Amino acid sequence: MSIRYIDEIKDLKGKKVFIRVDFNVPQDDKGAITEDTRIVGAVPTIKYVLEQGGKVVLASHLGRPKGEKKAKYSMAPATTRLSELLGKPVIQAPDCFGPDVDGLVNAMKPGDAVMLENVRFYPGEEKNDAGFAEKLANGCEIYVNDAFAVSHRAHASVEAITKHIPVIAAGFLMRNEMTFFDKAMQNPVRPLVAILGGAKVSGKLEVLETLINKVDKVVVGGGMAFTFLKAMGYNVGKSLVEDELIPTARTIMETARDKGVMFYLPVDCVVANAFEANATNFITTAQEIPAGWMALDIGPATTTLFAETLRDAKTVIWNGPMGVFEMDAFCRGTFAMAEAVANCFATTIIGGGDTDSAVRKAGVENRVSYISTGGGAFLELLEGKTLPGVNALEVPAMKGDL
């Protein structure tokens, strides 16, 4: 894959540089940002362009305003936080385009930055509308995609806009994402271990089918494990199961066996009589989940087993928690997995919002090699798909002189 990166462009001074970032960050009821990883991740690219004398026009989405202007989805809080991180003011535009925005952009001096309002305030963003993309471009001379997390979407500010700006490049965050993905999937140091969790098999079915052909070991926890356990003939009580995927689960396990891929499932779990934080719970083997009870976390024997699978690992990919870690009674398995990943002597790559949150709550975020900013984009890469936003940056789409 051949992509031009922002530091390969020779002269940025005085150029209008449109940077697509992903500032879709969580906020509390009062609009205060509660987690700013994605904003922090974009700072190196923004700072580099500003220091080179570029005029930065930033664009992002926030939430799901569904094509309508809604104050609670304004980019203003993210703009304020970015200003703090950069140590200089970033101007918040009142809209994505129009006379007022034109005035702000045209008045910029080298080293200035303007944040456009939420691009999803307009339906043209999600429709990948060429006309909307042209309005966003607004005379910019360089386009930079530093928003890996939305690059699996063919949206106007991600894909269509590349046809309206002469020079196309990727930012440093995008480079980190693609570099670590290549380390994990294109030329991994083996053994390569994939850890998958979360609620449903259906959300990761294509990932599993792809990984079986690439990895040495697969570890499956979380709610998705119980479809596999039921496929093996175990009674799983009221645990989450996708019955329609039981035949598929059997096929995946058979394929793993045929290819010599080690496939690990929970051997014990924490079960509860209700999906509630204060529900009665106890530990039982995976073969003996009582009728009427549901598994909400992996048990201590499983955490030991799963940690042991990482002992000789050289590359580890993890997507999806091992249980309902948001509830204190059912967080131990996920946190133990986070500790095991942090302790192993391997390149460790974390993907997905829930997994990112779990790793941070476990306090080991500084002991893993890389935490991806993408959820859906990360999974689609694992599935072997081409991301529209990345594809738009490849050599055939490159225009203009360096």
Active site residues: 38, 200, 353, 376
Report yes or no: 147 and 80 within 8 Å, Cβ to Cβ. no
State the burial class of residue 106 (Cβ atoms within 10 Å of its Cβ: 0-12, 13-18, 19+). Answer: exposed
Give the Cα separation of 44 and 49 in Å (integer): 9
Residues 6+ apart with CB under 8 A from 293: 237, 238, 271, 272, 273
Give the Cα separation of 386 and 73 in Å (integer): 29
Strands 370-371 and 347-350: parallel
Give the Cα separation of 271 and 275 in Å (integer): 10
Report yes or no: 263 and 221 within 8 Å, Cβ to Cβ. no
CA angle 155, 159, 163 (to 5 degrees): 130
Residue with tokens 């031009």: 4
Give the Cα separation of 239 and 245 in Å (integer): 15
Report yes or no: 330 and 223 within 8 Å, Cβ to Cβ. no
Which residues does residue 394 pair with via DSSP β-bridges, in sequence order? 3
Give the Cα separation of 246 and 5 in Å (integer): 44
Q: How many CB atoms lie within 10 A of CB 66?
A: 11
Give the Cα separation of 176 and 182 in Å (integer): 10
State the burial class of residue 47 (Cβ atoms within 10 Å of its Cβ: 0-12, 13-18, 19+). Answer: middle
Cis? peptide before 188, omega within 30° of 0: no
User: Smallest Cα–Cα separation from 20: which of 115, 134, 138?
Assistant: 115
| Helix %, strand %, coil % of the chain (to 5) | 40, 15, 45
Give the Cα separation of 86 and 240 in Å (integer): 45
Both tokens of residue 247? 């035949």
